[in-house]
Structure 1
Amino acid sequence: MTATPGDEVDRIVAAWHRERPDLDAAPLQVLSRISRLARHLDRARNSAFAKHGLDGWEFDVLSALRRSGNPYQLSPGQLVAQTLVTSGTMTNRVDRLALRGFVERSPDPGDRRGVIVALTPSGREVVDAALADLLARERDLLSQLPETERDQLTATLRGLLQPFDR
């Protein structure tokens, strides 16, 4: 009797090995797990944000502003670079966040045609609360791993991401 594979990825890889023994499915062992983990993390993150009335994209924009430091403001171009969306998408996002009172626009003193997007006190309050909840949830998720394994995983994932960040 054959041992049952350990998780869903093991079952998927075994099925591909059975159906396409001519292909090396080894990359799936790592990357399918990362993909599946990313989906689970997205659900956990969305749950943490929803508790504070935020969507994930709202948290992304607000947290980019919050991380920028006092006075918590960036140009739309800087927000685009940090959140990896198009300028049209960012315009729409800033409009929606401004309607909620989380950000405000002001003229860019260094560029007559430009604007600056600034975090409002209510935006700062909601992003700070959402971040605290998110970190607590993520800390719980990682608590299963010893610190040395977390450090190794951090280094390994950093190495995998570097080509994309260039």
Structure 2
Amino acid sequence: MDTPHGAAPAADSIDRHIAHWGHEVPDLDPTIEGAVTRMQMLVRHLQRRKEAGLAQRNVKMWEYEILWRLRSAGEPYRMTPTRLAEGLGVHPATLTNRLDRLAKSGYVTREYAPQDRRSLLVTLTEQGHAAWSATIGEQQATERALLAPLSEAEREHLVVLLRKIAVAAESDGPPLMPFID
């Protein structure tokens, strides 16, 4: 694909990876290998940047994910531990330990549901909301910087192409990690 200036983009580490493995695996499809390996590399890049930003605020990734999931529930930012565990894809026992730690840090509260004393509700506190909010701007800046080499039209086209792949992947069943329940 050409850059906005008409010249082909410079070779990257994935091009070198494909050149190497093309000799080892003669039927390697360089287009598929290039697309998939670049997606994997970019996800790892974003993950490292996110973890570094969270570490600067003394927030662990698992803490952020619980806070994010509660925030995504909308006001009053609460849900049952069962729903939270399902949304995060973690075992309930693992979640219980993590919620204990988050409650001790003041990020969440746990209380019985008013309509059913057998059911617990986990609620995001103001402190938890602030911890989550503090990371969002930096993450958005990281994502903008990642896509900055693309024009607006190229970003829109990328979204269309990735959506097409996501729809096909989701046709096998529900997403592995639903973003909003």
TM-score category by the smaller chain? 0.7 to 0.9
* Residue 89 (structure 1) aligns with: 94
Task: Tell me the C-alpha RMSD between the 2 structures.
Answer: 1.9
In structure 2, the gaps of 5 or more residues are: 1-9, 175-181
Shift of 1:93: 1.8
Q: Residue 33 in 1 paired to residue 38 in 2?
A: yes
Shift of 1:24: 3.5
For this pair of structures, how many residues does the alignment match? 162
Q: Residue 125 in 1 paired to residue 109 in 2?
A: no
CA distance in 2, matches of 1:132, 1:78: 27
8 Å contact from structure 1 (residues 49, 134) kept in 2: no
Identity %: 37
In structure 1, the gaps of 5 or more residues are: none
1:80 paired residue among 85, 93, 105: 85
**Divergent runs of 4+, >4 A:** none
Shift of 1:55: 1.3
TM-score of the aligned structures, taking structure 1 as reference length: 0.86
Deviation readout 1:107-154 (Å, 9 max, x if unpaired): 123433221000111111111111122222222222222111112222
CA distance in 2, matches of 1:94, 1:119: 11
CA distance in 2, matches of 1:21, 1:41: 31
Residue identity matched to 1:57 = W
Deviation readout 1:26-83 (Å, 9 max, x if unpaired): 4211111111111111111112212221111111110111222221111112212322
TM-score of the aligned structures, taking structure 2 as reference length: 0.80
CA distance in 1, matches of 2:25, 2:19: 10
